[in-house]
């Protein structure tokens, strides 16, 4: 399968560069979805568009098992700084997280599987909006699920490029691989007044200082040291004039967790920290929005991916890796069916390009490798060589 993937390497690169040059933000991926649908239709897949607003679902085969292959499509609101022939042609929008690569490799998998016979059904999930949520707080994965994209799916697989690892390395391990993420939005409310007379006001900046210290102590003093957890403040706003004590201070931040019990503890401790404002004579408001769940890699699916990668690349190229506190909405899919995502080394040697950076780019030699692993794993799941 690796040999066959290398035979279509030029096409993989062409797909990737075309998508990279024409990036689209979440729930706006109309050109990208159109190109995907055209390609899959030409390969005689059963294609549905408009799934999850701008997503594409395509199937081949009949009956069970049904194996899903997911690729996200959206870009980021970043101005590209790369001087390459395939640089973004859309000002202020860039594929800075590798979703262009994911689409190209999934199309490669579809190409290779189009000449294979197998029992069951392969279902491709080209997903919009992994990076953002809509006005109802939903990203592309739950939107596709709402439209039935995961019905009767027995296993689902995906990959993500990894610019910290060299080409030829993959990382995959069982259990929680990326964190669940929630957001909090709080106000510390006092009584504003003249800065010359602080004794006549209830100073929300003074109160917010104590709240911030308490928030920063939640993980180090209120969470078990062996439980992965993050509470990070991302914004603080209060006041405008140097001689005016404001009425309130707003604070927002992110919450990361791997387990629901830890999630609930973090939520309650954030509330406890805000109550310090009441102790000091003020008030507070707090809103916590629940976001992506942790992405759980099912051990059986991980085993299939690991064995496929070892057979194609050798055991020395396959690593288990560490948990990451970043978030990935593939967790919505893997919560409905056994699933796993692996990381695919794509580092440009001597020049690591970090995700979400204006100069993010990849060594395109990773494309046939990811294509081959996904194809081989999908076939093994379909043919019952990986028990789920």
Determine if the peptide bond prior to 226 is cis (ω within 30°): no
Q: What is the 3-state secondary structure (H, E, C) of 135-185?
A: CCCCCHHHHHHHCCCCCCCCEEEEEEEEEEEECCCEECCCEEEECEEEEEE
Nearest to 339 by CA among 156, 133, 111: 156
Evaluate whether 137 touches 152 at the Cβ level (below 8 Å).
no
Query: Which residue out of 24, 72, 130, 329 is catalytically annotated?
Result: 130
Calculate Rg over the CA atoms of the chain: 23
Q: Which two tokens stand for residue 29?
A: 């991926």
User: Which alpha helices (DSSP H) does the chain contain, by range?
Assistant: 2-7, 9-21, 30-42, 99-113, 140-146, 204-216, 218-222, 260-274, 276-279, 299-313, 330-334, 366-382
Residue 209 vs residues 204, 206, 249, 273: alpha-carbon distances, Å: 8, 5, 10, 11
Residue 64 in tokens? 């069970």
* Alpha carbons 22 and 95: distance in angstroms, whole number: 9
Q: Determine the Cα–Cα distance for residues 372 and 2; give it in Å rounded to an integer.
A: 5
Q: Which of 72, 74, 162, 182 does the annotation list as catalytic?
A: 74
Q: C-alpha angle 349/351/352, rounded to 5°?
A: 95
Secondary structure element (H or E) that encloses residue 243, with its range: none
130 is catalytic: yes
Give CA–CA dist 178/342, Å, rounded.
11
Which one, of 83, 188, 118, 74, lies nearest residue 385 by Cα? 118
Residues with a known catalytic role: 74, 130
């Amino acid at each position: 399968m690796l040999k066959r993937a290398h035979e279509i390497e030029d096409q993989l690169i062409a797909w990737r560069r075309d998508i990279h040059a024409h990036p689209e933000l979440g729930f706006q991926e109309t050109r990208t979805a159109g190109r995907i649908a055209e390609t899959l239709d030409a390969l005689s897949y059963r294609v549905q568009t408009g799934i999850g607003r701008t997503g594409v679902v395509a199937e081949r085969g009949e009956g069970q098992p049904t194996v899903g292959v997911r690729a996200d499509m959206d870009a980021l609101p970043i101005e590209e700084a790369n001087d390459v022939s395939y640089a973004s042609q859309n000002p202020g929008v860039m594929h800075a997280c590798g979703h262009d690569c994911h689409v190209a490799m999934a199309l490669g998998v579809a190409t290779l599987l189009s000449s294979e016979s197998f029992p069951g059904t392969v279902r491709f999930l080209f997903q919009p909006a992994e990076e953002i949520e809509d006005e109802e707080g939903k990203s592309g994965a739950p939107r596709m699920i709402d439209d039935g994209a995961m019905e009767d799916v027995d296993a689902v697989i995906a990959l993500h490029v990894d610019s910290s690892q060299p080409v030829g390395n993959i990382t995959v391990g069982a259990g929680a691989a990326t964190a669940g993420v929630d957001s909090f939005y709080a106000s510390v409310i006092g009584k504003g007044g003249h800065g010359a007379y602080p004794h006549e006001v209830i100073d929300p900046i003074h109160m917010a200082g104590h709240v911030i210290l308490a928030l920063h102590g939640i993980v180090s003093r209120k969470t078990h040291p062996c439980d992965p957890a993050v509470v990070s403040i991302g914004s603080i706003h209060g006041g405008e004039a140097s001689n005016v004590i404001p009425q309130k201070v707003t604070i927002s931040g992110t919450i990361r967790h791997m387990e629901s019990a830890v999630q609930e503890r973090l939520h309650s401790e954030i509330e406890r920290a805000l109550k310090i404002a009441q102790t000091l004579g003020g008030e507070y408001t707090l809103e916590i929005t629940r976001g992506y769940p942790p992405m759980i890699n099912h051990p059986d699916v991980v085993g299939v991916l690991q064995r496929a990668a070892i057979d194609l690349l050798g055991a020395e190229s396959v690593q288990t890796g560490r948990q990451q506190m970043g978030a990935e909405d593939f967790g919505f899919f893997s919560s409905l069916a056994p699933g796993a995502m692996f990381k695919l080394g794509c580092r440009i040697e001597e020049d690591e390009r970090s995700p979400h950076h204006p100069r993010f780019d990849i060594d395109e030699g990773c494309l046939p490798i990811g294509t081959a692993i996904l194809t081989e794993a999908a076939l093994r799941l379909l043919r019952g060589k990986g028990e789920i």
